[in-house]
Amino acid sequence: MLRHALLSAAMFTVSAASAHAAPALTTVAERSAFQQTGRYAEVETLCRQFQARYPKQARCFEYGRSPEGRRMLALAVSNTGALTPDEAARRKLPVLLVQGGIHAGEIDGKDAGFLALREVLEGKAAPGVLDKQVVLFVPVLNVDGHERFGAWNRPNQRGPKEMGWRSTAQNLNLNRDYMKADSPEMQHMLALVNAWDPLAYVDLHVTDGAQFEPDISIQVEPVHAGDAALRAAGTVLRDGVLADLAKQGSDPKPFYMSFAEEDNPQSGFVDSTPNPRFSHGYFLLRNRFGVLVETHSWKDYPTRVRITRNTIVSLLSQMAQHGAAWRQTAVEADLRATQLAGSQFPLSYKTTEKSRMIAFRGYAYTRTRSEVSGALMTRYDEKKPQIWNVPLRDEIVPDLQVTAPKAGYLVPCAQEKMVGAKLRQHGIAYEEMTFHGSRENVEVFRATQVKFGAQSFEGRQTAAVQGEWQKEVRLLDSCVLYVPVNQPKARLVMALLEPRAPDSLLAWGSFNTAFERKEYMEDYVAEDVARAQLAADPALAAQFRQKLADEPEFAKNPRARLEFFARRHASWDERLNLYPVMRIDMLPVSIMDL
């Protein structure tokens, strides 16, 4: 209720006088023949004007504030009158969330979205599509980055003349932030998603890369990963959009058009399943569609906006045609997710070495040594189209797999502030419980190897661990958060809390202190301890001598030799390298009785 109240309270008030003004609803981009794009003030104006022109079909509202205090705006559009999340849910309408400007230098989506919605509302494009869905349009997610305007913010992109900046005012890349949700912008977006529960989330980008003829790629998940029935529906969605675009003269591709080897066209392409730090990798974990749209930076701005507009209209049409059935499939996928406990679950995917040759429309090129950098460089001749016969690797299979816990996860209350906040941001259900000195059968994860990131990444020091879950009886004498697996967001739960998942909280460095040694034994003390252990335990002495003989590196490392004994001493910290989160296969009696 509070969430809905905030959204409703933030709604812009549109006066009767402004409604009579009958604004043209055109953008700076249109009026400049798509040579320019407007500043964020235009978004604020257009959002209000859409509501003024179509008060029964459009609602403009604020869903958050950026770090620099700017309004973050969304425009809800539908012919059904369902312009609030509660009404859309009550009427079981599919919601299509179209988001532009997550990288504010790649701003095609803002201008294309306003254009597409105006034409649809005017009945000039896709008539009737708004009768069967709600469209939620976020023109610019990275609003502060949008206002860092400059002519060379995207040096390898053809237009517009000026554009915003890739990262936020806090220098965060929002399309790496879906899981860790460090930025206020992402936290507001997740609150919007939790409120509206969009069936599909469309993320509009402009790709970097080489020069070639294909003008757009459309990637959808679930297709390679996630719920099986949703994969089938996602394939229909993707292929439908590809077909629509092809009919309109585009050469769309279903994979990210980046060479397997940088700057080498003959290396071909490698399809993949995205990690959930990215939008389309994240939404498959919620049993919803994530759609990544990438126009090609070497196409000019008028071309890119037109193709993005065509894509949005196609997505609206696909949703109008299939949305009701797909929404039911998603509801059923939520139910199936509650039954993942105890099953094999893939934490990551990999592309095999299997390849097939494809004919790809490129340009003639040469590869010569640069007199500037000294590197081998590829130079293209756009006046000479050329078919490249190159390999495509697109067989994708599960990589790291784990068995899901049969009940769920226990998070000690010492971690509640951080973990609880993330669970709430993602809309994950959990309970706060208290134990009073009971010994419980749990699974614990002790890292056998820990590798920290060599440098900061997105403001975090990342971590990667090796190890396995092991059964253990542990004393529980405090409060915990119990996170059950039997919930619709089970995939997201495991992606956050499984320590070896690629974008888990552990992987993003949230538990680094668990892998830092805090207590030490002075060497002169350790020497005496070691001698006492050798004298008291002949088997240990034999093991030590064997290790000296078998491992030369160990034998010549004084610190490693002393640690051999320190690990066997009562002063050794048994929690070192122990992941604080536990798993349980049965709800403890201590919890069930509360």
* Tokens 């951080």 found at: 418
- Phi first, then psi: give them for residue 17, nearest 5 degrees: -60, -40
Give the Cα-Cα-Cα angle 338, 344, 348 (nearest 5 degrees): 100
Lowest-confidence range among 205-209, 397-401, 485-489? 205-209
Judged by DSSP in three states, 49 sits in helix
- Phi first, then psi: give them for residue 342, nearest 5 degrees: 80, 0
Residue 259 DSSP label: B
Q: Assess whether pLDDT exceeds 90 at residue 594.
A: no
Q: Assess whether pLDDT exceeds 90 at residue 425.
A: yes
Give the residue-averaged pLDDT of 458-469: 98
Contacts of 491 (CB under 8 A, 6+ apart): 226, 284, 285, 286, 287, 337, 340, 345
Give the residue-averaged pLDDT of 522-528: 92
Q: Assess whether pLDDT exceeds 90 at residue 34.
A: yes
pLDDT at residue 211 in the model: 94
Q: Assess whether pLDDT exceeds 90 at residue 312.
A: yes
Q: Assess whether pLDDT exceeds 50 at residue 18.
A: no
Kindly tell me the burial class for residue 170, based on how many C-beta atoms sit within 10 Å of its own C-beta (0-12, 13-18, 19 or more).
middle
- For 56-74, what is each residue's pLDDT tens digit? 999 999 999 999 999 999 9
Give the residue-averaged pLDDT of 424-442: 92
How many Å apart are CA 130 and CA 157, to the nearest integer? 33
How many Å apart are CA 71 and CA 83, to the nearest integer? 19
- pLDDT averaged over the chain? 94
The structural domains of the chain, ordered by start, are: 2-335 (3.40.630.10), 356-398 (no CATH), 401-517+575-592 (no CATH), 523-566 (no CATH)
Q: Assess whether pLDDT exceeds 90 at residue 538.
A: yes
Q: Is residue 447 within 8 Å of residue 467, measured between CB atoms?
A: yes
Q: Assess whether pLDDT exceeds 50 at residue 2.
A: no
pLDDT at residue 23 in the model: 64
How many Å apart are CA 332 and CA 211, to the nearest integer? 43
pTM of the model: 0.92
DSSP state letters, 143-188:
HHHHTS-BTTSSTTS---SSB--SS-TT---GGG-TTT--SHHHHH
Strand bridging mode 344-346 / 401-403: antiparallel
Give the residue-averaged pLDDT of 135-154: 97
Q: Assess whether pLDDT exceeds 50 at residue 12.
A: no
How many Cα atoms sit within 13 Å of 518 on the Cβ side?
9
Q: Is residue 53 within 8 Å of residue 25, measured between CB atoms?
A: yes
Note the residue count of the chain. Answer: 594
pLDDT tier for residue 508 given thresholds of 50, 70 and 90:
very high
Give the residue-averaged pLDDT of 439-445: 94
CA distance from start to end of the chain: 27
- The closest of 27, 50, 233 to 135, measured between CA atoms, is 50
Judged by DSSP in three states, 576 sits in coil
How many Å apart are CA 36 and CA 30, to the nearest integer? 8
pLDDT at residue 477 in the model: 81
How many Å apart are CA 264 and CA 150, to the nearest integer? 30
